Chain A
């Protein structure tokens, strides 16, 4: 029983979503809800060209709610923290690209939603 509790503490819920055919992940605890998107929502064309973009991940920021347009939400999975890595600083990647989830065959880029709102400045609903 203690082992099970310990195991849960070592897992992080990651919400996986799609933008332009690519799969990305984010800390599910950042996501308040999934909503329909509006034209003024935050977009991240660097991650891929949105196919439909008719969904938005809604998250909290100091300025209010942020909405990130996505194509689809794949769901939430509990991932052991041992499979999560911080982004090597040598890559010089965008600040919202905070890490990587090491899956069996590939790596999934982890996105910090709050950082996307900072990066996008005034773009997006708040």
Chain B
């Protein structure tokens, strides 16, 4: 890193997020929780899973459970189309594919720009690290506490 950039980073620390859109939501996940992105293929539905588990898919010789964040956050229902992408999310030993309608890319966000989740928000707010405001309200990004989210998803799935 160039000295001036290093100084700037110290002065204004940033965090990198993988940003995407699903349904009407613009979401961000810490980039260290994302392994890769690939085009969604055929999903195999599973019996008796919670509604936010859309099924499993094979990828690089492994079986990935596919998570619908819209259902998990009670914000609707994701649909798989020809342009749908899955990103491989990981925390500890939990690995899952997560549905994304559009990938917005990696963004370095100054930590100081991350606002706390809205007080009195809905149940989805408990899975937010914070929010970043954009030029317009539609450009804002909700930053997910992805590790907590995946752990909660696993607990909900296994406890049934």
Contacts and interface: CB of A to CB of B under 8 A. Distances in A.
Interface in B42-95: 42, 44-50, 53, 56-58, 61-65, 94-95
Nearest to A104: B58
A44 interface: yes
B41 interface: yes
B63 A102 contact: yes
A97 B49 CA distance: 11
B95 to A, nearest CB: 8
- B interface: dominant SS: mixed
A109 B46 contact: yes
Contacts of B49: 91-93
Contact of A94 (B48, B62, B158, B159): B48
B96 interface: yes
Contacts, number: 74
Given A90-B65, A90-B96, A91-B53, A108 B158 contact: no
Contact of B61 (A47, A102, A103, A108): A102
Contacts of B41: 105-106
B51 to A, nearest CB: 11
B96 to A, nearest CB: 7
B154 interface: yes
Contacts of B45: 22
Contact of A109 (B44, B96, B153): B44
Contacts of B158: 89-90, 92
Interface of A: 22, 44, 46-47, 85, 87-94, 96-97, 100, 102-103, 105-109
9 contacts: A46-B48, A88-B63, A92-B156, A92-B157, A93-B46, A106-B41, A106-B44, A107-B56, A109-B46
